[in-house]
Amino acid sequence: MPVLDPLENRVAMRDCSGSVGRTSAGFKVLGVDPGSHVTGYGVVEMTGRGVRWVTHGEIRPSRGALLSICLQTIYDALREVISLSGPDAMVIEDIFYGKNVKSLIRQGHVRGGAILAGRHCGIPVYEYSPAEIKKAAVGYGRAEKGQVQTMIRAILKLPELPPPDAADALAAAICHLHFRKADPI
């Protein structure tokens, strides 16, 4: 059962409370690139010496699974990432409007599950458009996925290119480190 603190308007679930009140010196951000087939995630930390990679990966629900199973898989996996990495904030990519309606609806469902995972773990959730994220990471708001992967590898000094959706998630986290919107969604 959630614990509600009316003074802070924070909801924290007991099983991901390890992320609340942690003692890291830097500011950690979890970026999420939502998708019903592949949801990318990435955590970075701003320290006194710059941006540091923490973790990244992709959540892949079973092919052909019911939407409700896909959402549960993504929700559970993100709560585990939050519990293990202890971010101070979560950033999610806003919906890209050029897709077909059915894809937009599915992506909206995934976004809702991801946002709920962040809030249930007591962290504020922010959103940025794909163009804002690409501009922050690459310097160009219409950059291709390959360009984002290459730049994220360089910025974070990774030994290899991160998977495309994880690279987008890491870019979202870096975007928030640069802009730090004041109001969560």
Of residues 58, 127, 165, 168, which has the active-site annotation? 165
Question: Is there a contact between 114 and 75 (Cβ–Cβ < 8 Å)?
Answer: yes
88 is catalytic: no
Name every residue whose Cβ is closer than 8 Å to that of residue 94 and which is 6 or more positions away in sequence: 127, 128, 129, 130
Q: What share of the chain is helix, strand, coil (3-state, %, to 5)?
A: 45, 25, 35
d(CA 2, CA 39): 25
H-run or E-run covering 135: helix 130-138
**In 3D, which of 158, 160, 150, 126 has the Cα closest to residue 51?**
158
Question: Is there a contact between 185 and 125 (Cβ–Cβ < 8 Å)?
Answer: yes
93 is catalytic: yes
Of residues 33, 58, 132, 168, which has the active-site annotation? 33
Of residues 45, 58, 88, 93, which has the active-site annotation? 93
Helix (H, G, I), strand (E, B), or coil: what is residue 55?
A: strand
Residues designated catalytic = 33, 93, 165
